Structure 1
Amino acid sequence: MADMVVELIPTPGLSVSQTGSPPKKRSLYEKSLQPCVAEFVGTLFFVFVGCVSVIENVEAGGRLQPALVHGLAVAVLVGVFAEISGAHFNPVVTLAVYLVGGLDVVMVFPYVLFQTLGGLMGAALSKALTSKKHFTKASGAAFSVVQVNEQVAGALLCEILMTCFLVIVVCLGAVNEKSRSPLISFLIGCTVIVNILAGADLSGVCMNPARAFGPAVVSGYWNYQWIYWVGPIAGALVAAAVLRLLLGDKKTRLYMK
């Protein structure tokens, strides 16, 4: 995603050189398997450091530490993995990037699978590293903000809107030719930080089913887990529709070209 011109052709990576020169011919491994490995490794470290920040911050409380850790982690990971896989690390980002023309359909399922496995491994490593007391008190960094049915509608809407915001930033900054930015890794990191600071008390602000699934499996905490799948998927679909119908350039927009 970062610092490069995006290539809207059926390949797993999103970019070519900044000079606009054609991409070098890549091997089958670099086209198919290496991007999946990058998604696994990137998601693993994102979920790992994110979970550790929540677990070890459980007694101090507050939103700042988890917000900064999640945002800075994703900014760094996007910066270094963008040229290998596009640096999604999130199933709903993969879905949205595909829908706006930035990823071949044959790579969607492998990306989602490796992201989910990376999230599971990252959560497992966070459990192995942190104290049992803190891990239990933080529910393994699973999202436990929603406690009663009255909170469900607000939490679901929060996940939809926050994910929509994030995905619009990703797609406009990395996929859409007219608006893409060399600062995309910074922009994505800032968006994650802002969203968590704004909505942590409403839903926890997951925006990423892989981030929700891994800790839920490892800790056995499944309360209202569906919110962290339905909300982000819906938000990604809304964002993709906005780009396809209104905000995208001529290559992305379906109508009014």
Structure 2
Amino acid sequence: MGEEKMEMEDSTLMEKGRKPPAPKPPNKYETLFQPCLAETVGTMFFVFVGCVSVIENVPAAGRLQPALVHGLAVAVLVAVMDNISGSHFNPPFTIAIYLCGGMELMMVGPYLVSQLIGGLFGAIFGEVAMTCLVTMVVLLVAVNSKTKTPLAPFLVGCTVIVNVLAGGDISGTCLNPARAFGPALMTNYWTYHWVYWVGPIGGGLVAAALLRLILGDDKLRVVMKS
């Protein structure tokens, strides 16, 4: 229905001798800075979940756990960041893409620096980072018009799988204060219960800030607008 309405409006404008308005070109921030910031954020989360999955990998799981975590993390991050930066997250990918004509030379250096910074942050960062990741994915695939996709339920589910596989033995990967509160109340077990409130709420706030300040489209961002 929406596409039919747009076509009718365009045809009406043409009948009146006027051209339909051209789409607004991306501003300098979305062309130069936002892709680099997206590479930093994406690489940070990829390195973080990868490090955690290897650290807590149990011998019985063999290579399966880190393989699943790395593979699913790449799938989710590539899907949600592709329209922003191209989802490289890896210096060799950036160099190869440039050599094959997939990006401009002026962006290669900033991409490489952004990926290395993201890797450093990812190695430094539990509950806050993992909740931030799943909340960021929800906002990118369901709220941000530039990256919305009908695959939202699948991508959010994959992100939860990544978080549980990567951080389950560290904090339990609750990601939801309501999920923690019900069982704690019924069993009267409140040890470290505050972690499941401070972590997820903090992660959600960080994710919202990432979208409103850095990764969101021109409509969602509150800074650097066209």
TM-score by length of 1: 0.40
TM-score by length of 2: 0.45
Query: Larger C-alpha radius of gyration, 1 or 2?
Result: 2
